[in-house]
Structure 1
Amino acid sequence: MIEVTDFRNAMSLLTAAVNVITTNGASGAHGFTASAVCSVTDTPPTLLVCMNQAARSHAHFIDNKILSVNVLGAQHEAISNAFASKLSAEERFKYGSWTQLATGALILQDALVSFDCVIEDIQQVGTHSVFMCRVVAIGHAEPQVEVNESLVYFNRSYHYVGQVQVA
């Protein structure tokens, strides 16, 4: 049997992109910070997003049936921390500038990229819900003059990776 702490310690060495996942709709605007996001297929474009069922906003994602995945850059540490904190949903959205694409889920205007999605299926696995999300729109930040880096999480701390060259 693998102990929870052994698994968590091992997973801390799996480098992951830092994302803010948001929803908006009849159940309100909510969001959380997540690293458990990945591509499933490009036909149709589909992402997988994992969320703890004990999270305060879990029911709102289920009710709204939409979400956006906002991929954070190095400049977004404060936004990541806000969405991982105990701040209220309203207080979290005071960080950053937000807009919408097709579904109405909130998109961080200067995210490296944002995926606007409809939740098509939900699987319960242990403590988490696995959302299968069909991508219906993609948003990119306005081109920047400076070099951008992706915000990643490794060994329980933030790091910066890569360079995005803008023509």
Structure 2
Amino acid sequence: MIETTDFRNAMSLLTGAVNVVTTSGASGRYGFTASAVCSVTDTPPTLLVCMNRASSSHMHFVDNKILTVNVLSAHHQHISKVFSSKMSAEERFEHGVWTALETGAPVLDDALVSFDCQIEQIQKVGTHTIFICRIVAIQQSQHNQGLVYFNRGYHHVGQTELEYT
């Protein structure tokens, strides 16, 4: 049997993009920081998002049936920390500039890329819920560096601007 601690330590070595996943609707406006996001298929364009069922905002994502995956740029480490903090939902959205696309879920204006989605399937697995999400709109920025999480720390990936003297 695999021990929980061994699994968590091993998973810390799996590099993942840092995302802020948001929702809005009759159940309210909420968001959380996630690295458990991946592509499922491009026909139709679909993402998979995992969320801990113990999260205080979990039921709001289930009720609203929409979400946006905002992939964070290198300069968004503070946004990641805000959306993984104990701040209220209202306080979290005071950080960053937020707009909306097709579904109305909050879109971080200068995210590396934002995937606006309808939740099509919900599957419970262990402590988490897997949302299968059909992408209905995409917004991409001009930023060229992403924020990733590896070995329990933030790192930047992508092109850097070279300075000439």
* TM-score interval (norm. to shorter): over 0.9
Q: Which amino acid aligns with 1:160?
A: H
Pairwise mapping of residues 29-108 of structure 1 onto structure 2 (< 5 A)? 29-108=29-108
Q: 1:111 matched to which residue of 2?
A: 111
Shift of 1:65: 0.2
Distance 1:60 1:66 in 2: 10
Q: 2:146 matched to which residue of 1?
A: 150
Shift of 1:164: 7.6
Distance 1:56 1:74 in 2: 27
TM-score by length of 2: 0.95
After superposition, the CA RMSD in angstroms is 1.1
Q: Which amino acid aligns with 2:150?
A: F
Pairwise mapping of residues 125-140 of structure 1 onto structure 2 (< 5 A)? 125-140=125-140
Shift of 1:14: 0.3
- Figure out how many residues of one structure are paired with residues of the other and give that number: 161
Extract unaligned runs of 5+ from structure 2. none
Q: Which amino acid aligns with 1:9?
A: N
Deviations 1:69-110 (A, max 9, x none): 000011000000000001000000011000000000000000
TM-score by length of 1: 0.94
Q: Secondary structure at the match of 2:159?
A: strand
Q: 2:158 matched to which residue of 1?
A: 162
Q: Which amino acid aligns with 2:101?
A: L
Deviations 1:53-77 (A, max 9, x none): 0000000000000000000011000
Distance 1:95 1:17 in 2: 20
Extract unaligned runs of 5+ from structure 1. none
Aligned sequence identity (%): 71
